[in-house]
Amino acid sequence: MSTNELSACILVAVCICAKDGVISEVEEQAMLRILREQYPDFSAELFESALTEFFDSNQQIEDYLALVDDKDLRRFTLSLSESSASADGLDIRENIALKKAYLIWGMKSNV
C-alpha cells in the first residue's frame, strides 16, 4: 500500500473521529494501535502528517472518502474509523458520519 493510500485512510478516520468536536488522545492511540497491527512498518510521522493535513484543510468527509478507491481499503478504513471513534464512546455525530461513509461507499453498515 502506498503512503498516499494509507494517508487517505487516516484522513477519513480522523474526520469521523473529529465529528464530536475533538479528536481525543484515546482515539489517536486506538488509531495508531490498529495501524501498527495491520501495517507493522507504519510510522508515527505519517500519522502526524495526516493529522496536520486534516487540521490545515477545509475539506469535508465526502472529499476524504473520494480519496479511497479500493474496496478492501475502504473496509479497513471503515473498521479503523469505527474502532477509533468508539474508543472514547461513539458520539451520535460520529455515528452519523460513519453511516454516511457506508452509504456513500455503498457498503453494509455495522453501526
CATH at residue 39: 1.10.3680.10
Instruction: Tell me, yes or no, whether 82 lies in a domain.
Output: yes
Instruction: Tell me, yes or no, whether 27 lies in a domain.
Output: yes
**pLDDT (tens digit per residue) in 40-73:** 988 899 999 999 999 999 999 999 999 999 999 9
Residue 30 C-alpha cell reads as: 486506538
Cα–Cα distance measured from residue 7 to residue 12, given in angstroms and rounded to the nearest whole number: 9
pLDDT value for 86: 97
pLDDT value for 30: 97
User: What residue type is 22 in one-letter code?
Assistant: V
pLDDT band at 3 (very low <50, low <70, confident <90, very high): confident
In percent, the amount of the chain with pLDDT more than 70 equals 97
pTM: 0.94
The domain of 25 spans 3-105
pLDDT value for 111: 54
The answer to whether 51 and 25 are in contact (CB under 8 A) is no
